[in-house]
Amino acid sequence: MSTKATGHTGFRIHGFLTGDIQETIDQVAGENPEWFSLLRDINQLLQKIVISGFEKHHGKTMDVKVLTMFSAIRSLSNFQSAVMNLERGMVVEARIMARCLYENSFCIGALVDNPDKFIPLLKHDNIAAKRGQAVALKEGSYSLTADVEAAMDERISGNKGQYLKWKDIADMSSLSNNYLMYKHLSDDAMHYSASSLKRYIVSDKENNTWSGYRFGPGTKDEVFSAANFCTQPTLAIMVGFLEATEDTSYDGEVSLLLDRFTSITSK
């Protein structure tokens, strides 16, 4: 554990659930003030955009603007979760949320650039998910009534659907270049893998040895990197949302945030 940010007794007993986590938050945010200022301002603008959309965008659930609205709401809560984790130094969890944000950005980008291709894929993904649940029920040791079993059989024998393929969706949008970063996050944070497990090792890279287990807030550089991963897709989400909903009223504010992001990452 980092003695600087986790030396107090509360963290050693309760970890990230300690009641005095504010000490850790102050330490982590104080090491990257520009990032946390930008993250909070992004949240404020995205919140404003989403809330204003509640009254503007209505229709069928598979309409482009409505789907984009759903995606923006999901993105807002994903982003807020990422920031809550990040300010506590929970970089792995923040990076997992960043992966979700990349998925959201690909979907919004596809809704902008290729809605006629993307929307049918979303429907087929739903069919595949429901069929998968039916198969799991049938194969499990569950007591099913005759009606439920018949419904499961009908679902299994019907259209198989197809799960979303994220490379294909990324290619439908103007954000295909971000797919590599998305895959990187999958390996080093989202999934149980050798790469993700290495984050819990105290290692000596020069000697290729390890000397213990690591738990606690990430380093300043790790927080910086995770903040970058969380910010990039969220800015793309805002741009895509405003384009899909034909709303130009926030263009100036988004442009200022993009300039700040470029300034921080170019140092």
Residue 190 and residue 263 in one domain: yes
Tokens at residue 15, please?
């970890």
Residue 157 and residue 183 in one domain: no
CB-CB contact of 45 with 253 (8 Å)? yes
Residue 68 and residue 182 in one domain: yes
CB-CB contact of 80 with 93 (8 Å)? no
Residue 110 and residue 180 in one domain: yes
Percent pLDDT > 70 in the chain is 95
- Cα R_g (the chain), whole angstroms: 22
- C-alpha–C-alpha distance, residues 252 and 150, integer Å: 56
Tokens at residue 16, please?
């990230």
pLDDT digits (tens, 9 = 90+) for 218-248: 999 999 999 999 999 999 999 999 999 999 9
Give the DSSP letter string of 34-103.
HHHHHHHHHHHHHHHHHHHHHHH--S-TTSHHHHHHHHHHHHHHHHHHHHHHHTTT-HHHHHHHHHHHHH
Residue 73 and residue 186 in one domain: yes
5 domain-assigned: no
22 domain-assigned: no
- Mean per-residue pLDDT of the chain: 90
* Residue span of the structural domain in which 152 resides: 115-170
- C-alpha–C-alpha distance, residues 22 and 36, integer Å: 15
Residue 145 and residue 210 in one domain: no
Which residue would you say has higher pLDDT here, 24 or 142? 24
CB-CB contact of 175 with 236 (8 Å)? yes
pLDDT at 8 over 70: no
pTM: 0.88
pLDDT digits (tens, 9 = 90+) for 68-110: 999 999 999 999 999 999 999 999 999 999 999 999 999 999 9
| Amino acid sitting at position 255 | S
pLDDT at 155 over 80: no
* Residue 212, strand partner residues: 202
pLDDT at 4 over 50: no
Residue 252 and residue 157 in one domain: no
- What separation in angstroms does the CA of 109 have from each of 39, 48, 178? 22, 20, 12
Residue 37 and residue 164 in one domain: no
Residue 257 and residue 207 in one domain: yes
126 domain-assigned: yes
The vertex-83 CA angle with 46 and 222, nearest 5°, equals 130
Residue 202 and residue 159 in one domain: no
Residue 144 and residue 261 in one domain: no
Residue 165 and residue 189 in one domain: no
| Amino acid sitting at position 71 | S
6 domain-assigned: no
